[in-house]
Amino acid sequence: MKTKVFISAILGALLLINCHESEDLNTANNGLKKSVTIENIGDIHNELLAAYFASQTRGITVPVNDISTYYDAFKEDLFTSGRYEISGQDVALCETSISDFEDIMSLKIDSTFYESSLNLVLGRIRNNDGICDEVKHVLYEITNENCTLSSFELGLLAEKYKSYVGGEYLVVYSNIFKSSSDYWQPVTTRNSDNRKVIAADCLGGLLGLTCCGAMSVIWGAAFSYSLDKCLDPSTVTVDTSDSISSEVDDSTEETSTAVCTGDDETLNI
């Protein structure tokens, strides 16, 4: 009888240890997952792009006529890869708000893509009561094709306006611009304008943020990938480690005096 009790106690102890080890392992695995925040949207977007490019080189390709295919691909990777911690609220928002993006889903992957997407996104910003007029003005200026502000200078703007109503849109724009510059600057295509691809990336991020952070990641990746395909469907990676462009080089600790000239008045930092 004592032997049976002793064996039962041993088995119980082993079971308890295994349970604790399993809990510790789950905790460790969860710790490896990245949560989507407005500060790391750009980094996560880069990872999604890299994974998608890798899938294309393995021959997993699908004919694409509009942006919806890329949206679906990036959404699936973000939600099902197991690399990211997506809140239930974000998942629900992405599912229930998709009807709000029907006009975006039909954007064609052709020469009109950038102008069409720019008009649609700026129209949404204009009608968004959650963004104050001051922040809207800055967004109009930095999305203007004549704007040449660096990632450092955009960061200064984001810091200046972050406490304003809708200031998070500038934080996300700045964050995505920096990460997108890091990603796209080493990539060249025969005719691609990398600055424009980066701008499209930021536009997608702004669009998605009207829903949630996860949607910002998805649309940012989808916009930049789509525009790169519009400009030239054949991308080649080159080594530019010694010659990163001014979007990254200008990110110094010095005070900026740059201006951005758009259709309205001059924007001073």
Residue 191 to residue 261: CA distance in whole angstroms: 25
pLDDT in tens, 110-134: 889 999 999 999 999 999 999 999 9
Q: 148 exposed, middle or buried (CB, 10 Å; 0-12, 13-18, 19+)?
A: middle
Condensed to tens digits (0 to 9), the pLDDT of residues 2-57 reads 444 444 444 444 444 444 444 333 433 445 688 888 888 989 989 999 998 888 76
The DSSP call for residue 36 is P
* pLDDT 10s digits, 141-174: 999 988 999 999 999 999 999 999 999 999 999 9
Q: Is the pLDDT of residue 269 over 90?
A: no
Categorize the per-residue pLDDT at 256 as very low, low, confident or very high, splitting at 50, 70 and 90. Answer: very low
**Per DSSP, what are the bridge partners of residue 237?**
187
Q: What integer pLDDT is reported at residue 22 of this predicted model?
A: 42
pLDDT of the residue at 220: 94
* pLDDT at 97 (0 to 100): 87
pLDDT at 66: 83
What local confidence, expressed as pLDDT, does residue 173 receive? 96
The more confident residue out of 246 and 268 is: 268
For residue 36, what pLDDT is reported?
Answer: 87
Report the first-to-last Cα separation within the chain, whole angstroms.
83
Q: Give the Cα separation of 181 and 251 in Å (integer).
A: 11
Model confidence band, residue 182 (pLDDT cutoffs 50, 70, 90): confident
191-211 confidence digits (pLDDT tens): 456 888 899 999 999 999 999
What per-residue confidence (pLDDT) applies to 139? 97
Distance of CA 159 to the CA centre of its chain: 19
Which helix (H) or strand (E) is 34 found in, with range?
A: strand 34-35
**Helices (H) then strands (E): counts for the chain:** 12, 6
Q: What is the mean pLDDT of the chain?
A: 77
